[in-house]
Amino acid sequence: MPELPEVETYVRYFRSLLKGRRIVRFVSHWPKQIEPDFATVERAVTGKWVARLHRRAKYIVADLAETRRGALSARSAASGAPTGAGHLLIHLRMSGRLEWSGLRPAASSHLRAALHLDDGHTLWFCDARKFGRIGFTRDYRATLCHLGAEPLDRGFTADRLSRLLRGRERRLKPLLLDQTLVAGLGNIYVDETLFQAGLHPLTRACDLKKAEVRALHRAIRAVLRKAVALGGTSFDWVYPGGEMKEHLRVYGRAGRPCTNCGTPIAALRVGQRGTHVCPRCQPL
């Protein structure tokens, strides 16, 4: 369940290791995960340099350059401008994981793909459920244009959120999970955000008062920032690091007392998703 904070943690960790490196070989053990197909991606990335590693929503984006010079130039490092050699995209979906170099991950770690680099190091892509995706695109902005607002960007203001909610009859939970509106939240951080904002997941978006929209906006940013600062939420065999698990208030705490009022946390299903709520702090 890597969501925005976990993906951001990976990007920060791997950025300095990958930047300026040349990809000498690309291997896939499960080609169905490669988009549009293995041969295309292999041809597109082999021999290219990594100019920049960044994140858009839950996607990891590696800007590629044709030359070492291109990878190190200020132009390709500048935010935005797509480099001539296109972009490698990685989405971890449910159970994707990245590991760095050292020994080849054990068979039990579900190794699915590898990016071998010119300095002898390797980026390993592991994924138990094989839902993760690795892709190549000429222009990542076009490929990811369906994604909505980046919640930690400066441009994501309470006004912007208010406009997104205006006239929406949808419940808050499915709405916040919709990546075309706000991009990066998943099941864990939506539940945590709604608790922090004191809002019930079944509340209709259009029913929010101004102050509630502001509270929701503040909660989205506070929860995500805290999770990023703590390196994300560790999740048994899926995501190793991260201290955020010790700070979750509702997710995975069904039946245990609310840290705020002592009422047992309730578990319900909203839009086929496991949902956690404090019935007292988040009244409907």
Partner DNA sequence: TGAATTGTTATCGT
Partner DNA sequence: AACGATAACAATTC
Return the active site residues. Answer: 2-3, 58, 273
In the bound state with DNA, the residue whose beta carbon lies nearer, of 65 and 265, is 265
Question: Tokens 């004191």 map to which residue?
Answer: 198
In the bound state with DNA, the residue whose beta carbon lies nearer, of 118 and 178, is 178
Give the residue among 21, 23, 253 at the shortest CA–CA distance from 116. 23
- The minimum distance between CB 148 and DNA, in angstroms, equals 10
How far apart, in whole angstroms, are the C-alpha atoms of residue 159 and residue 171? 19
* Interface residue with DNA, options 55, 58, 87, 116 (CB under 7 A): 58
In the bound state with DNA, the residue whose beta carbon lies nearer, of 1 and 216, is 1
* Interface residue with DNA, options 5, 96, 186, 232 (CB under 7 A): 186
Give the range of 149-157, 214-222, 258-266, 268-276 binding DNA by CB under 7 A. 268-276
Give the residue among 148, 204, 145, 153 at the shortest CA–CA distance from 174. 204
**Site residues (CB under 7 A) for DNA, limited to 124-163:** 128-131, 146
- The minimum distance between CB 237 and DNA, in angstroms, equals 5
- The minimum distance between CB 52 and DNA, in angstroms, equals 21
- How many chain residues touch DNA (CB under 7 A)? 32
* Distance separating the N- and C-terminal Cα atoms of the chain: 27
* Interface residue with DNA, options 91, 97, 116, 200 (CB under 7 A): 91
* Interface residue with DNA, options 22, 48, 87, 110 (CB under 7 A): 110
249: amino acid identity, one letter: R
DSSP calls for 118-156: TTS-EEEEEETTS--EEEEES-HHHHTTT--B-TTSTT-
